[in-house]
Structure 1
Amino acid sequence: MNSRPAALGQPTIRTGPECHDQVCVTCADQAVAVRVLELTADGLAVADTDAGPEEISVALVEAGPGDVVLVHAKEAIAIVEKKS
């Protein structure tokens, strides 16, 4: 979620998506573990998230379908569990 300063003494005005009580892969300040469903073109994959399937980048890791990866800002940054 993006924010911009408001006038002095006024609350910050937020722009962009609101995730409410759940953490989303796109705008979270923390990494989230998700399972890779399928690999697509150009280092991308479809992952199973709490919000449903989302496209993420797996360019930094050697992940495949069934693997659980740690994702921050739609980028897989580590493999948590390899599919057996």
Structure 2
Amino acid sequence: MNARDADRAPAPACHDGVCITCSDTAVEVTVIELLDLGFAVVDTGQGREEVSVALVAASVGDRILVHAGEAIARLEISE
């Protein structure tokens, strides 16, 4: 956790690629660049898109779930 993340509440835990808010499917993507104003460029596996990461403490390289252009959870990678 860095200083930026210290004052943020944890994001909701989404499981199995499903948005807990609406039960719709979220898309797993990789953050490739952080932009100003809470946005990021992500790799969808089929191209790049700009999404909001305002609700999630995301860093370059993180895998996140995106629903309707908004990051809703950061995925923990278990090895």
TM range (shorter): 0.5 to 0.7
What is the count of residue pairs matched by the alignment?
A: 54
- Once the two structures are TM-superposed, the CA of residue 33 in structure 1 deviates from its matched residue by 0.6
Q: Cα RMSD (Å) of the superposition? A: 1.3
Higher relative contact order (CA 8 A, sep 6+): 2
Q: Of residues 39, 42, 61 in structure 2, which corresponds to 1:66? A: 61
Unaligned runs of 5+ in 1: 1-28
Structure 2 alignment gaps of length 5 or more: 1-23
Aligned to 1:4: none
Higher strand share: 1
Identity of aligned residues (%): 59
User: Once superposed, which parts of structure 1, at least 4 consecutive aligned residues long, lie more than 6 Å away?
Assistant: none
Partner of 1:49: 44
Whole-angstrom CA distance in 2 between matches of 1:48 and 1:81: 17
TM-score by length of 1: 0.60
Hey, what's the Cα distance between the residues in 2 that align with 1:65 and 1:81? 14
CA distance in 2, matches of 1:68, 1:81: 8
1 or 2, which has the higher helix percentage? 2
Query: Based on CA coordinates, which of the two structures has the bigger radius of gyration?
Result: 1
Q: How does 1:1-84 map to 2 (within 5 A)?
A: 29-81=24-76
